[in-house]
């Protein structure tokens, strides 16, 4: 019962935030002179209207799911990995270099790329972790800074080392390496299946195993975890490693599934989008996946909305931003003692009425 109540609050906050964001979005649309209902309908039609559009939405969601799970896992251990973008790009870059330089092809090449992506992302994620536990440096700043390093490193690759003739981009990966579509007619590839698999694995690990339990305890109270004999530093390092590895795997699979080459602007914003989605998903891996798909839908649908009703795509960006603002504020609200008192009063009344 108590558990149910808690997850209900956890569920209500994002849902109400989304509704509220849409109401405000509708007001903006009306101010722009468009019919908000028609615009909203176009938005959802664009994202989910046809089999093909669902496929496009899911495909757009794949990289977001990876970076969102990356942020989610680190948060669960009480550390802030804001370097999802850098880890994603390092994963993609390393995977590209590995298959390009080795010339590996086919399924072997795919496996090589994914493994190299995991390793590169994990190692990249470890850097802030190591600096935090050995030198006490702030992991947020280090991981953000490493985003720039990763982006610029990728830049060196596509502008100098492995440039495709005269254009600042790398050549495409070999056709035999490209991840195929799972269902013909829908654009999403096996990258999505990998992402969903990672999400399920994280859910199992965090909620059904003893190390996952301890990791959550470390995230909620490091001092008590230390007093109760958990190797806190080891857990922190592990969370950075795994969190980075998830993003790295995301980079590698997105490279083989959708992107195929390294190019200017690739991956920009994925890291912070991931952080926001993990927060809206209340740091629950499954909920985080749903939120990532929802955000992808808003992005895919925005174009249809613009075409159909003339409402600019930026309104969709505004709605996304509002969802983030409302749900973070909503979560802060539910932590207030006044809210708890209010909740008890309301539920107390209900119980009385029930009698």
Partner 1 sequence: MEEMLRMEHISKRFGSFYANKDVNLTVNRGEVLTILGENGAGKSTLMNILIGLYQPTEGKIFFKGKEERIDSPSQAVKLGIGMVHQHFMLVEAMTVFENIILGDKRSKGVFIDREARRREILELSERYGLDVELDKLITEIAVGAQQRVEILKALYHGAELLILDEPSAALTDIEAEGLFAIMHKLVDEGKSIIFISHKMREVLHISDRITILRAGEVVTTVKCSETDGQKLANLMIGRELSSSQYEKKQAGGQPVLKLDGVRYHEQSKHNGLAGITMEVRPGEIVGIAGVDGNGQTQLAQVITGVIAPEKGTLSLKGKQVSVFDPSDFIENNVSHVPEDRNLQGLVGDMSISDNLVLKATGSGRFSKGRGLLLRPKAIRSHALELAGEYDIRCTSVDQDVRSLSGGNQQKVILARELESGPELLVAVHPTRGLDIGATRFVHDQMIEARDKGVGILLISADFDEILEMSDRILVIFEGQIMGEYSGQNPPIQEISLAMTGK
**Which residues are at the interface with partner 1 (CB under 8 A)?**
1-3, 6, 207-211, 213-214, 216-217, 220-221, 223-231, 340
C-beta of 230: minimal distance to partner 1 in Å? 7
Tokens of 168: 């600042």
Q: How far apart are the C-alpha atoms of 300 and 112, rounded to whole Å?
A: 31
Closest to 246 in 3D by CA, of 108, 90, 57 = 90
Kindly tell me which of 30 and 333 has the beta carbon lying closer to partner 1. 333
In whole angstroms, the minimum distance from the beta carbon of 298 to partner 1 comes to 31
* Phi, psi (degrees; rounded to nearest 5) at 20: -60, -40
The answer to whether 191 and 253 are in contact (CB under 8 A) is: yes
Q: How far apart are CA 142 and CA 127, in angstroms?
A: 8
Q: Which is nearer to partner 1, 41 or 286 (CB)?
A: 286
Residue 293: CB partners within 8 Å, gap ≥ 6?
A: 57, 58, 61, 65
d(CA 54, CA 188): 9
Nearer to partner 1, 208 or 352 (CB): 208
Q: How far is the CB of 254 from partner 1 (least distance, A)?
A: 31
Taking the least distance from each CB to partner 1, the nearer of 148 and 207 is 207
Q: Which is nearer to partner 1, 317 or 340 (CB)?
A: 340
- Burial of 17-26, coded b for 16+ CB within 10 Å and e otherwise, reads bbebbbeebb
| Residue at token pair 């409302």 | 326
Q: Smallest gap, in angstroms, from Cβ of residue 130 to partner 1? A: 20
Record the tokens describing residue 14, joined without a space: 């994002």
- Cα separation, 52 vs 77, in Å, equals 38
Q: How far is the CB of 2 from partner 1 (least distance, A)?
A: 4
Smallest separation, CB 283 to partner 1 (Å): 11
């Amino acid at each position: 019962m108590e558990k149910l109540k808690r997850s209900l609050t956890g569920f209500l906050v994002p849902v109400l935030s989304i509704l509220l964001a849409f109401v405000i979005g509708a007001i903006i649309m009306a101010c722009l002179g468009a019919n908000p209902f028609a615009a909203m309908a176009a938005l959802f039609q664009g994202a989910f209207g046809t089999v093909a559009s669902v496929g496009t939405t899911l495909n757009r969601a794949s990289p977001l799911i990876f970076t969102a799970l990356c942020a989610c896992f680190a948060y669960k251990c009480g550390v802030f990995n804001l370097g999802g973008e850098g880890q994603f790009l390092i994963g993609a870059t390393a995977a590209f270099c590995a298959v390009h330089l080795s010339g590996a092809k086919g399924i072997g090449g795919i496996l090589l790329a994914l493994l190299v992506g995991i390793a590169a992302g994990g190692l990249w994620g470890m850097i802030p972790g190591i600096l935090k536990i050995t030198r006490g440096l702030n992991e947020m700043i280090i991981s953000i800074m490493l985003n720039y390093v990763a982006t610029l490193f990728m830049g060196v690759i596509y502008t100098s080392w492995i440039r495709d003739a005269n254009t600042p981009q790398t050549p495409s990966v070999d056709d035999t390496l490209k991840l195929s579509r799972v269902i013909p007619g829908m654009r999403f590839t096996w990258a999505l299946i990998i992402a969903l698999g990672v999400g399920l694995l994280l859910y199992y690990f965090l909620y059904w195993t003893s190390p996952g339990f301890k990791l959550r305890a470390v995230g909620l109270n490091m001092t008590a975890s230390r007093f109760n004999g958990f190797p806190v530093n080891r857990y922190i390092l592990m969370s950075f490693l795994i969190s980075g590895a998830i993003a790295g795997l995301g980079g590698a699979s997105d490279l083989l599934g959708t992107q195929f080459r390294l190019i200017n602007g690739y991956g920009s914003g994925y890291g912070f989008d991931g952080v926001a989605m993990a927060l809206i998903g209340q740091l629950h891996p499954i909920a985080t996946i749903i939120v990532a798909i929802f955000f992808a839908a808003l992005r895919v649908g925005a174009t249809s909305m613009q075409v159909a009703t003339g409402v600019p795509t930026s309104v969709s960006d505004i709605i996304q931003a509002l969802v983030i603002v409302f749900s973070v504020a909503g979560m802060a609200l539910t932590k207030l003692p006044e809210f708890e008192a209010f909740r008890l009063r309301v539920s107390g009344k209900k119980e009385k009425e029930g009698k």
